[in-house]
Structure 1
Amino acid sequence: MILDLTGRTALVTGGGVGIGAAVAAALTDAGARVAITYRSHPPTEEALTALGGPAGRPVAVQLDSADEAAVERSVGEAAAELGGLDIVVNNIGGLVRRATLDTLTLAQWREILTVNLDSTFLVSHAALPHLRDGTGRIVNLASLAGHTGGHPGALAYATAKAGIFGFTRALAKELAPRGITVNALAPGFIEATPFHDTFTTADSKAATIRDIPAGRAGTPLDVAGAAVWLASDLASYVNGAVIDINGAQYFH
């Protein structure tokens, strides 16, 4: 068994930036043919070419992860372009805003859960008819915040990411008879991502890195390596797992 995805197909949601782009590039480098999704800004021709690998550059599909009918259409389009699906990486998510319970409205709560948790359900649901038995792999992007509660103002985000843990374990049991695995990645502090560029101050970044035993922040490539492993035959008996990627900052 080797880490070779030649002949496999993969859908990476939010695959144009940050962790998603690193995962898409790593999957293509391993030989998979990849489709990535975007919401409002299609990736440039240069970006798609840069993400290309042995199987060619990725297919780009527009996706509104909050719209059930749109998700069904977009995932179906990606599956048709690729000729079926072997791998789905549910990467869409984000903090959206920082708000504590006293200021968080129900509408904001629902919006953050929709972006992070509902999107994982909707894409998985839409992809299920296209996933091949035996080689099917679903990899869900959760977060260290799902374990720890995150930094102040991450109440709804941490709740959604903890929900992904439960969703992953339950779905793993449902799909195991088909030879389809479902696992989650829980990254800690990953630099060079829109999340921290938007919501984390320089002082907070420095303080967080000081507390990481590995002595450095993580990178999108650190997450991508784990995603490719889970997508490969090397991890065919790993199912329902939550893999922490945080430089020994936290164990569960």
Structure 2
Amino acid sequence: MANTAGPSPSSAPSTPSTHTPGDVISMPALPHNDNTSKPLMMFWPDGPTTLSSPSNQLWDDKDIVQADMERFVEDGSLDDNVESFLSNDDTNLRDTVGRCMDVSKGFTFTEVNSIRASANKVVCCHFSSDGKFLATGGHDKKAVLCYTDAIKLKTTLEEHSSMITDVRFSPSMPRLATSSFDKTVRVWDADNPGFSLRTFMGHSASVMSLDFHPNKDDLLCSCDGDWEIRY
């Protein structure tokens, strides 16, 4: 089970802490058990990287090399700031504006674009495994699907009755899953997302996070605010 339970339904929403292969992700103010906060950074294995932070920042990683990361891990530089790293075998917009960043050197980022995905707060995002689509979700109860090449809207998914807490693409199929405070998980056809293909209603509390199995197309895991994980 790759998911971790999110906050309680009464707490402020946070961006999910597990994701599929991609790029560099930085999210400040991630709550911990000791009541402290740490940013979350996640690094994708190969190719252009892309990610999102609580300000919906998308990052393109060109110059961060494995040797640099190994050095930071070895000397403890990241101990107080990094929540987790993803290996090559492991397979992640909170605000209303997303910013695309291009790495010029080291950890320096330059803004290259922005996305206004919603008029309300955006709390989650995810890139499709082929890099063609970006999905976001948030307080307006809608999931927004965008083309990444032109950063333009493809469609809006509007079947949830409460805020969306997570969006996740299947790693091997054109499928998008969304979870919500309405206690449901919905699965959509990313190529033709006019309406949801399936709705899962087994949770007794708000669904906080979800993820697809990296190798089994038909296996989906979700967790809720009542300590339950279903798959």
TM over 0.5: no
TM-score, structure 1 length as denominator? Answer: 0.29
Q: In proportion to residue count, which structure has more helix?
A: 1
TM-score, structure 2 length as denominator? Answer: 0.30
Q: In proportion to residue count, which structure has more strand?
A: 2
Q: Which has the higher contact order (CA 8 A, sep 6+)?
A: 1
